[in-house]
């Protein structure tokens, strides 16, 4: 292949990759699609992408055609332990696309007989970045390929830069969507407060005034019933507005839960350790989980006393909510008994966290939640 033909092929590769990246709206889907496409157009066979957070914690975000030695026990060799490429990335030595002399994970797979390695011993590794921001590593390999030329590394570096830019773009879009959702939620809450609340309050006043104008007991009874219904609807509306726009969340999750407990008539004792600011997406989920737990206590626990503990240690934020009310029989080996509790568990697991429920009749209910502080978990 002539130099001109090679340049044309490289430009075509970059064009194909750019088209894939421009269509992407989800980071996980994008990484898997572009990795598959990159390997196809470069005639390489195997690749994987690590996303690495600012604290150095990595996760396998995408992979294609890994040998069985690396997929052993649900890809455990790729998800645990260290390796030379990640180590060099973390200590700042990895600035550009390079040849890794050999792959430590492959060597361990061979040493421990985890499975076939398909003749793969070496790989190229490229940092994913956009401007000064780093996101992780792109690794590619092929059987019996021990060296990547400068031209191949330059192409991989260009692709990696495109991927890093796409990651940054998608992150910005996600933040904008989250901001728009909060803004719309606040607008809806304000509309409900200004219109529906006022209407319900007017109905209550009208019913009360009409009672003063009649001596008919059956009419008074009906008007009293209207007052009670309006008051109940007004309370429900206040609760709904709270769900849409929790008072005090801007001052932290603990403040918001205490305020909400007051609305429900609960006394919340709160113990906080090491928690200052939290990522918005984590704070939002903790608020929804805590809100559901407080609602459950109000409806079922037959107690007004609750304990909430929040702590931030290492790479996790933890929340514990417990009451000493009536409790219920729960066995971890069976399904969670209610949609509300199941919803809490699903919220935690979506963030790669851990959810634990403990309850016994007469001994109350305790919920423990642990969520990683980075989406990489």
CA angle 364, 346, 323 (to 5 degrees): 15
What is the Rg, in whole angstroms, of the alpha carbon atoms belonging to the chain? 28
Q: Which residues of the chain have pLDDT under 70?
A: 1-7, 9-10, 178-179, 181-186, 188-194, 238-250, 276, 375-377
pLDDT in tens, 264-278: 889 999 898 877 678
Give the number of C-alpha atoms closer than 13 A to the C-alpha of residue 156, restricted to the C-beta side.
27
Q: How far apart are CA 17 and CA 38, in angstroms?
A: 7
Q: How far apart are CA 249 and CA 257, in angstroms?
A: 8
Say what the pLDDT of residue 249 is.
65
**According to DSSP H, which parts of 192-279 are helical?**
197-211, 217-244, 253-264
Say what the pLDDT of residue 365 is.
94
Say what the pLDDT of residue 320 is.
95
- Assess contact for 296 and 340: CB atoms under 8 A: yes
Q: How far is residue 20 CA from its own chain's centroid?
A: 24
Greatest Cα pair distance, the chain, in angstroms, is 104
Q: How far apart are CA 223 and CA 229, in angstroms?
A: 10
**Full set of structural domains in the chain with CATH:** 3-175 (3.30.450.40), 247-377 (3.30.565.10)
pTM over cut 0.75:
no
Q: Could you tell me the CA-to-CA distances from 277 to 83, 234, 282, 287 in Å, in that order?
A: 33, 33, 10, 14
Handedness of CA 235, 239, 245, 248 (dihedral sign): positive
In the block, tokens 């509309």 appear at: 191
Say what the pLDDT of residue 375 is.
63
SS3 319: strand
Q: How far apart are CA 277 and CA 289, in angstroms?
A: 18
Say what the pLDDT of residue 236 is.
73
Tell me the pairing of strands 58-64 and 267-273.
unpaired
Say what the pLDDT of residue 139 is.
94
pLDDT in tens, 230-280: 888 777 776 666 666 565 566 778 888 888 888 888 999 989 887 767 887
Say what the pLDDT of residue 90 is.
87
């Amino acid at each position: 292949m002539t130099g001109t033909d090679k340049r044309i092929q490289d430009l075509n590769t970059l064009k194909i990759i750019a088209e894939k990246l421009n269509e992407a709206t989800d980071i996980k889907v994008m990484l898997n699609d572009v990795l598959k496409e990159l390997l196809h157009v470069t005639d390489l066979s195997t690749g994987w992408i690590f996303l690495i957070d600012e604290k150095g914690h990595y996760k396998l975000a995408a992979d294609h055609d890994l040998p069985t030695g690396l997929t052993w026990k649900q890809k455990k060799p790729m998800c645990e332990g260290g390796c030379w490429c990640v180590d060099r990335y973390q200590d700042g030595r990895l600035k550009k696309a390079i040849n890794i002399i050999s792959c430590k994970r492959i060597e361990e797979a061979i040493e421990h007989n985890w499975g076939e390695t398909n003749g793969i011993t070496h790989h190229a590794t490229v940092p994913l970045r956009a401007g000064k921001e780093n996101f992780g590593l792109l690794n590619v390999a092929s059987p019996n390929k021990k060296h990547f030329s400068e031209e191949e590394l330059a192409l991989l570096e260009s692709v990696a830069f495109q991927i890093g830019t796409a990651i940054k773009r998608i992150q910005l879009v996600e933040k904008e969507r989250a901001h728009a959702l909060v803004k719309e939620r606040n607008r809806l809450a304000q509309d409900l407060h200004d219109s529906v609340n006022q209407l319900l309050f007017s109905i209550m006043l009208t019913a009360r005034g009409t009672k003063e104008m009649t001596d008919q007991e059956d009419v008074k009874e009906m008007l009293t019933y209207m007052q009670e219904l309006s008051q109940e609807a007004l309370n429900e509306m206040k609760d709904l507005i709270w769900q849409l726009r929790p008072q005090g969340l801007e001052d932290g999750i603990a403040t918001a839960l205490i305020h909400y407990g007051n609305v429900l008539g609960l006394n919340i004792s709160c113990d906080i350790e090491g928690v200052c600011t939290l990522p918005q997406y984590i704070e939002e989920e903790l608020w929804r989980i805590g809100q559901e737990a407080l609602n459950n206590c109000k409806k079922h626990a037959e107690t007004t006393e609750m304990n909430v503990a929040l702590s931030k240690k290492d790479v996790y934020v933890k929340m514990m909510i417990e009451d000493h009310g009536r409790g219920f029989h729960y066995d971890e080996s069976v399904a969670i008994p209610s949609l509300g509790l199941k919803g809490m568990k699903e919220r935690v697991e979506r963030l790669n966290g851990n959810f634990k429920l403990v309850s016994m009749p007469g001994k109350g209910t305790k919920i423990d939640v642990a969520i990683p502080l980075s989406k990489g978990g």
